[in-house]
């Protein structure tokens, strides 16, 4: 096994049939591509759901071996100013394609990072060079793309992959790399990836670099997420009114396991619904968890904020929340 080789590229699907999940999107995009004529496309959805892969499959299907000569990929988060649209994009768009297909393809990854000025320039370029070029835009949030661009594109929305899709993809890699992986380990990888196929693949590769036998314990070590049973102990102490013990246990988890405040918040949020308290209290604690998470993201001290959250759990346990 070549540890240095990136599996997300090595096992990237190269045909529509190899794509896992996104069945409706694949069906519609494939029918457009098979006609050898596509409109401008806008792929919107979370990271790691196959947007960039779909763009590559489209150009490889259209151009075959000549796809590199007819394809330009730009990451808008690195190059997002108006000069990129005026220079790189326009220079590529104004030249004719090589081969039978009458247009080239420009793929703008993370297009929602383009400045408003660049998006205005892009809309004119899309209009003026539609005879020689098609644009595929990829973004996490389509709402950040201006309406004139959205109206020029066929919009396809990608969703997070389901467990069965992640499992199918991971089992294919495990078979090719001679890995032994248990169903419980796949469950752990899926929980850690949260439906992001790229993250799931990276977790599997990192785990496989340690051992060919993929176990749940090994996966948890790689992910470095807070263990649900440890978080449950912290919350049980808090609900029992023992704030000091809950605080000490939380500090122990964060320091020994090197777990960030945001990861702890996510683990607490998941564990709230397993607590032996009334549904109304669970709702209030979930609301409080969201408030604390926002404060941490805004730059507040994670441990102080988590202490405040534990205080809310203590009050809930005493019936005062």
Kindly list the structural domains of the chain, giving each domain's residue range(s) and its CATH number in brackets, ordered by start: 22-157 (3.40.50.300), 163-223 (1.10.8.60), 228-317 (1.20.272.10)
Residues 103-131: what's their mean pLDDT?
Answer: 88
Q: Are 26 and 16 in contact (CB under 8 A)?
A: yes
Residue 2's pLDDT is: 44
| Helix H or strand E encompassing 317 | helix 302-317
Q: Which residue has the tokens 């779909």?
A: 54
Residue 259's pLDDT is: 80
Residues 256-276: what's their mean pLDDT?
Answer: 85
Alpha helices of 94-196 — where are they, by DSSP H?
116-128, 147-151, 163-176, 183-193
Q: Measure Cα distances from 256 to 114, 185, 247, 300 in Å.
A: 41, 23, 14, 21
Q: Which residue has the higher pLDDT, 84 or 12?
A: 12
Q: Are 115 and 80 in contact (CB under 8 A)?
A: yes
Could you give the CA distance from residue 94 to residue 102 in angstroms, rounded to a whole number? 12
For the ranges 23-37, 86-100, 132-146, 158-172, the lowest mean pLDDT is seen at: 86-100
Residue 200's pLDDT is: 92
Residue 133 main-chain phi, psi, to 5 deg: -155, 145
Average pLDDT, the chain: 88
- Per residue in 13-51, pLDDT (tens digit) is 999 999 988 999 999 999 999 988 899 999 999 999 999
Whether pTM exceeds 0.75? yes
The number of residues in the chain equals 321
Q: What is the CA radius of gyration of the chain?
A: 24
Residues 246-258: what's their mean pLDDT?
Answer: 84
- Per residue in 158-212, pLDDT (tens digit) is 999 999 999 999 999 999 999 999 999 999 899 888 889 999 999 999 999 899 9
Residue 155 has pLDDT above 70, yes or no: yes
Residue 80 has pLDDT above 70, yes or no: no
CA–centroid distance for 50 within its chain: 9
Could you give the CA distance from residue 262 to residue 289 in angstroms, rounded to a whole number? 10
Residue 128's pLDDT is: 87
Residue 306 has pLDDT above 70, yes or no: yes
Question: Which residues partner with 74 through β-bridges?
Answer: 108
For the ranges 64-78, 218-232, 283-297, the lowest mean pLDDT is seen at: 218-232
Determine the 3-state secondary structure of 107 from DSSP.
strand
For the ranges 71-75, 145-149, 223-227, the lowest mean pLDDT is seen at: 223-227
For the ranges 103-112, 190-199, 251-260, 262-271, the lowest mean pLDDT is seen at: 251-260
Residue 115 main-chain phi, psi, to 5 deg: -65, 155
Q: What percent of the chain has pLDDT over 90?
A: 49
CA–centroid distance for 119 within its chain: 24
């Amino acid at each position: 096994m070549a540890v240095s080789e990136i599996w997300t590229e090595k096992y990237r699907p190269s045909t529509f049939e190899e794509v896992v999940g996104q069945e409706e999107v694949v069906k519609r995009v494939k029918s457009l591509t098979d006609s050898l004529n596509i409109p401008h496309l806008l792929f919107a959805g979370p990271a790691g759901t196959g947007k960039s892969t779909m763009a590559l499959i489209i150009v490889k299907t259209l151009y075959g071996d000549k796809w590199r000569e007819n394809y330009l990929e730009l990451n808008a988060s690195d190059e997002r100013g108006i000069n990129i649209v005026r220079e790189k994009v326009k220079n590529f768009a104004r030249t004719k394609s090589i081969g039978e297909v009458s247009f080239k393809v420009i793929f703008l990854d993370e297009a929602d990072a383009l400045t408003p000025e660049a998006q205005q320039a892009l809309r004119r370029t899309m209009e003026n060079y539609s005879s020689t070029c098609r644009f595929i835009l990829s973004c996490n949030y389509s709402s950040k793309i201006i309406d004139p661009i959205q109206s020029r594109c066929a919009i396809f929305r990608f969703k997070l992959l389901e467990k069965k899709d992640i499992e199918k993809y991971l089992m294919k890699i495990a078979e090719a790399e001679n890995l032994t992986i248990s169903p419980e380990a796949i469950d752990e990888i899926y929980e850690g990836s949260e439906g992001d196929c790229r993250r799931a693949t990276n977790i599997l590769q990192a785990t496989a670099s340690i051992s060919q036998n993929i176990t749940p314990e090994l996966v948890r070590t790689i992910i470095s997420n807070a263990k649900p049973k440890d978080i449950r102990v912290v919350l049980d102490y808090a609900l029992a009114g023992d704030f000091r013990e809950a605080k000490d246990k939380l500090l122990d988890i964060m320091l020994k396991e090197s777990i960030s405040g945001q990861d702890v918040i996510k683990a607490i949020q998941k564990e709230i619904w397993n607590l032996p308290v009334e549904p109304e209290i669970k709702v209030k604690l979930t609301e409080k968890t969201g408030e604390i998470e926002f404060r941490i993201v805004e730059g507040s001290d994670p441990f102080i904020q988590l202490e405040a959250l534990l205080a809310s759990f203590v009050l809930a346990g005493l019936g005062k929340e």
